[in-house]
Amino acid sequence: MKQAQQMSLQIAIDGPAGAGKSTVAKLVAKQLNLFYVDTGAMYRAIAYKALKNGILLEDELSVSQIAKTTEIILDHSEERVVWCDGENVTLAIRKPEISRAVSIVAAYVGVRERLVELQRREATRGGVVMDGRDIGTHVLPEANLKIFLTATPTERARRRWMELVKAGKNIPLEEVAHDMKQRDRQDIERKVSPLEPAQDAVILDTTGYSVEGMVAKIVALTQEDEK
């Protein structure tokens, strides 16, 4: 790992939906006393705002214009409230209709430029664990440690389905698996900042691993000397 003072430590965690990024990233951040930055929440907030304003998701120009003037604030307390232009959208952005819409808006250059600007602004506040799709490849190319988290598609769909069931959503597993597959394909195939591991990323398959085991592994990687 590239050496850094804790204050400026940057850990990038990328990977497909349901790989366990946010669960692991939050715990690593807590353990190392770093800010956790959920970049997916920002893309979700833009999808939410576009839908709320009755904008067609396919209307790239209008969606990009909306993104340009949207202020998104990620609260760093335990509640992790997501504010979008002063509105608390924490729960609304997790709904399946937003999950289905988000990869469409995330493919737009205008949206990505605005959100990358906000994400880099977060990284100037101190050390961060940032998770997403393009953190190691684009947002924080100089990150001290880059992780690419993955798991089998079946396992990832099962995890996301469990999360939704726990949140009281009655949705068939097959539907979750189908939506996730489609979103992964959109994220991998898009032209701008597609989902792919950075060349210097450590690839970790979380299938069958406990969350604690993954967190311990990543924390240990931050403590390794520069090779």
Contact indicator for 169, 197 with CB cutoff of 8 Å: no
Does residue 106 bind ligand CDP (CB under 6 A)? Answer: yes
Q: Point out which span in 27-35, 66-74, 130-138, 144-152 binds ligand CDP (CB under 6 A).
A: 130-138
Cβ neighbours of 121 (radius 10 Å): 10
Q: Is 110 annotated as a binding residue?
A: no
Q: Which is nearer to ligand CDP, 7 or 171 (CB)?
A: 171
What is residue 146's DSSP assignment?
A: E
Q: Is 96 annotated as a binding residue?
A: no
Q: Is 172 annotated as a binding residue?
A: no
Longest dimension (CA), the chain: 52
Q: Which is nearer to ligand CDP, 14 or 225 (CB)?
A: 14
Give the per-residue contact string, 12-51, with ligand CDP (x = CB under 6 A; - = no).
-----x---xx----------------xx--xx-------
- Tell me the residue number closest to ligand CDP, measured at CB: 40
Q: What residues from 134 to 173 belong to the interface with ligand CDP (CB under 6 A)?
A: 134-135
d(CA 2, CA 145): 7
For residue 142, give the 3-state DSSP assignment: coil
Does residue 183 bind ligand CDP (CB under 6 A)? Answer: yes
> Which two tokens mark 14?
């990328």
Q: Which helix (H) or strand (E) holds 12?
A: strand 10-14
Contact indicator for 133, 147 with CB cutoff of 8 Å: no
> Which two tokens mark 176?
């979750």
Would you list which residues are annotated within the binding site? 15-23
- Per CB under 6 A, residues contacting ligand CDP are 17, 21-22, 39-40, 43-44, 102-103, 106, 132-135, 183, 187
Q: Which residue ranges make up the annotated binding site for ATP?
A: 15-23
